[in-house]
Amino acid sequence: MDVVAKPKFGKNFGSYVLLTILALIVLAPFFIGLWTSFLPTMQIAKGNFLSTDLSFQNYIDAFTQTPILHYLGNSLVISTVTMFAQLLFCSMSAYAFVFLDFKYKRALFVLVLATMMLPFEAEIIPNFSTVKAMGLLNSYSALVVPFLTSAFGIFMLRQSFKQMPVELKEAADIEGLGHLQFYWKIVMPYNRIPLITLGAYSFLGAWNQYLWPMLTTFSNAYRPVQNGLRQLQSEETFNDWGMIQATAAIVVIPTLVVLFVGQHYFKSGANEGAVK
Amino acid sequence: MSITLNDVRKDYDSQTAVLKNVSAKIETGEFFVIVGPSGCGKSTLLRMIAGLTPITAGEIKIDDTVVNDLPPKARKLTMVFQNYALFPFLSVWDNVAFGLKARKLATDDINARVKEALKMVNLTKLAKRKPRELSGGQRQRVALARAVASDAKICLMDEPLSNLDAQLRIKMRQEIYALQRKLGLTLIYVTHDQVEAMTMADHIMVLNDRHVQQIGTPSDIYQNPRNAFVAKFFGTPQINILPAKRSEENSHIVNVSSDLQIVLDEEAPSANLQIGIRPDDMQVKRADGVESNAVVKNTEFLGDETIVYATLNSGSDIHVVLPGKADFRSYEPIRVTANANLMFFDPDGKRIDLSKEAYVHA
């Protein structure tokens, strides 16, 4: 029998203290933001951060006095469309790179990878010209079209498709499944964990976009939340900090939801049992 | 459905041949085992029959139809893989039904077939489980059920038992054999395990070094191996193969150094020979000094028999299986004799048939 040694609390005490302090430093802005979102702006302006005058008034104001709901709606549309588009197009490209044989497959894949080496900032001007030439400025399309697929997503899915046991493909061949059936009935469900990961990643990526929407949207009709948040700050002559904090807290909620839902699926061993 | 292989060949890189001149006829309802050491091309051959790997030259026929260019589906066969290839996201039931659904059978028919197949492999109670919630043996049974549920009459199995432990392997071996007989499947079974080949096969194909070494019934292959490789591959412990020379004075006499002398009723066919003696066709007795021709290295007691490992005075290692318990100490001098079932091979390992009985004298 193995005797599993219990971690000695005393020995690790120093590490725990250090980690706790670091965690507090990292989380402090978040907690301060959340705390102030419950304080009346007057108290914040006075610098009275320890006031106990807590209420949901800021949240009510955010919903009633600002277009935050509209921003949220915009972001939701943009992020959802981006996510599903990336899942579809990245998985299809990855499938082609793994399971199909065609000329210049390697060269094409290297080309796809090469786009990953370019920082997004370097692509902004050509992308802007393209979107403008297509007449898409200030529309949902401007915010979605450049992100319909991603080199990172293709790369990530290709890696996990490659790790599928060859026998699954052979079994599918024997049953006479075509590429489309194999892709949809076996590859997609088998790789649901990487797909969920990519989905969460692209959803959050789209949700948290700032620079690109700032350049391509000019009206509240299409402005996503991050830019809307910035808008709240400059639109008012007097910055209603309590309400801005409340809005920021609302904006963070979908991120947390995605992370928690995602986490549920990141349990290991979900694909165990396919092959021994 | 019968399968015919005509001079099948497989090359990789247009130069290196993996398999050459493979010809065989597999009858309807036959249990055909392809056996050979790892890397001999047996899995490749199976995949060529399945249509997963194209063949370079030759002809594969199923029931008189040449299937060289037919896709796997059109060959109407099923395959059981070494690592099962189950779909982890589907339940046992759906795994078994998958192929039937892909072939667009009627729902009633699918349900009936899956139910019957699961019953046959004793998995009815586990139909709702996912593969990860099953033990290795149960997963293997799901893979079998898939083959059972299909209406294809040809089943290919690629080392289906090599991931199971020894006890389970014996049990599954019997189950596979029983299923094959019950369903009348034409079964092609690839394995590296000579015991599986011997116990289940109607006919065995021995593959090695890119060539078919021999095709025959288990007893034929054991008793009449066509070459030294086949002789060595079947039987545990392995056959003893000893180098021998024809005596210069008397061409009826063959000597294994000075240790064993064989007197033949006819002239020895060549100056250099190899002699094969099965370990249980040899006898050992204690001897001392000039009488002895070998020294014991060690013994293994297996309950019903004892294996004696010894070294002949000339340096060749031999092993002898004796019935019951035999007491020999290490370094004890012994005298080894043999008097029946000798096989003769030429220096390249090819079998030489002698028309008459031979006798051995120490």
Domain that holds residue A95: 69-219
CATH (residue range B239-361) = 2.40.50.140
Average pLDDT, chain B: 89
Peptide bond into B237 cis (omega under 30): yes
Nearest to B313 by CA among B284, B334, B328: B334
Tokens of A243: 């309400």
B200 Cβ contact partners less than 8 Å away, ≥ 6 residues apart:
B31, B33, B173, B176, B177, B189
Interchain CB distance below 8 Å, B71 and A176: yes
Tokens of A85: 């588009």
As a whole number, mean pLDDT of residues A149-170 equals 94
Using DSSP, state whether B114 is helix, strand or coil. Answer: helix
Which of B84, B133, B134 shows the shortest C-beta gap to A275? B84
Min distance A221 CA to chain B CA atoms (Å): 42
Q: How many A-B residue pairs are in contact by the CB < 8 A criterion? A: 85
Beta-strand pair B31-35/B186-191: parallel
Angstrom distance (rounded) from CA B60 to CA A115: 47
Interchain CB distance below 8 Å, A174 and B88: no
A241-265 and A225-235 helices cross at what angle (nearest 10)? 170
Using DSSP, state whether A12 is helix, strand or coil. Answer: helix
Chain A interface includes B87 (CB < 8 A): yes
**Weakest-pLDDT range from A237-251, B40-54, B178-192:** A237-251
Residue percentage of chain B with pLDDT more than 90 = 56
The answer, yes or no, to whether residue B51 has pLDDT greater than 60, is: yes
Q: pLDDT digits over B142-161, tens only? A: 999 998 898 888 999 999 98
Residue with the larger pLDDT of the pair B257 and A162? A162
Nearest to B156 by CA among B165, B144, B164: B144
The answer, yes or no, to whether residue A270 has pLDDT greater than 80, is: no
As a whole number, mean pLDDT of residues B179-188 equals 92
Pick among A160, A166, A175 to test the B interface (most B CBs inside 10 A): A175
Min distance B214 CA to chain A CA atoms (Å): 29
Which of A170, A173, A273 shows the shortest C-beta gap to B131? A273
Nearest to B88 by CA among A181, A173, A168, A197: A168
Q: Where does the pLDDT of residue B28 fall: very low under 50, low under 70, confident under 90, or very high at 90 and above?
A: very high
Domain count of chain A?
1
For A44-105, the DSSP string reads: HHHT-TT-----SHHHHHHHHHSTHHHHHHHHHHHHHHHHHHHHHHHHHHHHHHHH---TTH
Cβ–Cβ < 8 Å for B163, B136: yes
Q: Where does the pLDDT of residue B113 fall: very low under 50, low under 70, confident under 90, or very high at 90 and above?
A: very high
Q: pLDDT digits over B53-97, tens only? A: 999 999 999 998 999 999 999 999 999 998 889 999 999 999 999
Chain A interface includes B137 (CB < 8 A): no
DSSP H helical segments within B184-282, as ranges?
194-200, 218-223, 228-233
Chain B: residue nearest A276 by CA? B83
pTM of the full structure: 0.81
CATH (residue range B3-232) = 3.40.50.300
Measured between alpha carbons, how far is residue A220 from residues A51, A140, A177, B191, B211 in Å?
34, 12, 48, 69, 76
pLDDT of residue A1: 46
For A135-200, the DSSP string reads: T-SSSHHHHHGGGSS-HHHHHHHHHHHHTS-HHHHHHHHHTT--HHHIIIIIIHHHTHHHHHHHHH
Q: Where does the pLDDT of residue A231 fall: very low under 50, low under 70, confident under 90, or very high at 90 and above?
A: confident
Return the CATH number at A118. 1.10.3720.10
pLDDT of residue A19: 94
Average pLDDT, chain A: 87
Which of B89, B90, B103 shows the shortest C-beta gap to A175? B103
pLDDT of residue A239: 74
The answer, yes or no, to whether residue A265 has pLDDT greater than 80, is: no
CA B346 to chain centre: 23
DSSP A8: P
A251 in a structural domain: no
Interchain CB distance below 8 Å, A174 and B87: no
Tokens of B99: 């192929």
Domain boundaries, chain B: 3-232, 239-361
A228 Cβ contact partners less than 8 Å away, ≥ 6 residues apart:
A66, A67, A68, A70, A71, A74, A220, A247
Cβ–Cβ < 8 Å for B205, B24: yes
Tokens of A159: 């890696």
pLDDT of residue A267: 54
Residue with the larger pLDDT of the pair B5 and A2? B5
pLDDT of residue A186: 94
pLDDT of residue A127: 92
Nearest to B54 by CA among B64, B62, B63, B44: B44
Which of B73, B81, B136 shows the shortest C-beta gap to A175? B73
The answer, yes or no, to whether residue B116 has pLDDT greater than 60, is: yes
**Weakest-pLDDT range from A215-219, B132-136, B259-263:** B259-263
What residues in B contact A271, CB-CB < 8 Å? 88-89, 132
A110 in a structural domain: yes
Measured between alpha carbons, how far is residue B162 from residues A163, A231, B193, B266 in Å?
22, 66, 9, 46
A276 in a structural domain: no
What residues in A contact B81, CB-CB < 8 Å? 167, 170-171, 275
A119 in a structural domain: yes
Angstrom distance (rounded) from CA B51 to CA B69: 8
Interchain CB distance below 8 Å, B102 and A271: no
Strand partners, B334: B286, B294
Angstrom distance (rounded) from CA B150 to CA B153: 8
Chain A interface includes B50 (CB < 8 A): yes
Cβ–Cβ < 8 Å for B308, B324: no
Interchain CB distance below 8 Å, A174 and B78: yes
Interchain CB distance below 8 Å, B83 and A269: no
A174 in a structural domain: yes
Tokens of B305: 């028999």
Angstrom distance (rounded) from CA B336 to CA B287: 9
Which of A165, A174, A276 shows the shortest C-beta gap to B163? A276
Which of B72, B74, B134 shows the shortest C-beta gap to A273? B134
Which of A176, A189, A275 shows the shortest C-beta gap to B83? A275
Angstrom distance (rounded) from CA A146 to CA A127: 7
The answer, yes or no, to whether residue A158 has pLDDT greater than 50, is: yes
Chain B: residue nearest A189 by CA? B89
The answer, yes or no, to whether residue A42 has pLDDT greater than 90, is: no
A34 in a structural domain: no
Interchain CB distance below 8 Å, A175 and B79: no
Tokens of B211: 């060539």
Q: CA gyration radius for chain B?
A: 25
**Rounded to a whole number, what is the largest CA-CA distance in chain A?**
75
Angstrom distance (rounded) from CA A22 to CA A31: 14
Q: pLDDT digits over A72-105, tens only? A: 999 999 999 999 999 999 999 999 999 999 999 9
Angstrom distance (rounded) from CA B55 to CA B113: 33
Tokens of A18: 């250090």
A98 in a structural domain: yes
Chain A interface includes B135 (CB < 8 A): no
| Sign (positive or negative) of CA dihedral A45, A46, A49, A50 | negative
A253 in a structural domain: no
Which strands, in side-by-side order, build the sheet including B154-158?
B77-80, B154-158, B186-191, B31-35, B203-208, B211-216
Angstrom distance (rounded) from CA A90 to CA B317: 62
For A223-253, the DSSP string reads: --HHHHHHHHHHHSSS--HHHHHHHHHHHHH
Interchain CB distance below 8 Å, B50 and A168: no
What residues in A contact B147, CB-CB < 8 Å? none
- In this prediction the ipTM stands at 0.82
Cβ–Cβ < 8 Å for B268, B256: no
What residues in A contact B163, CB-CB < 8 Å? 276
Q: CA gyration radius for chain A?
A: 24
Cβ–Cβ < 8 Å for B234, B227: no
Cβ–Cβ < 8 Å for A183, A92: yes
Q: pLDDT digits over B244-300, tens only? A: 888 888 888 888 877 788 888 777 888 888 989 999 888 888 888 788 889 999 999
Strand partners, B57: B9
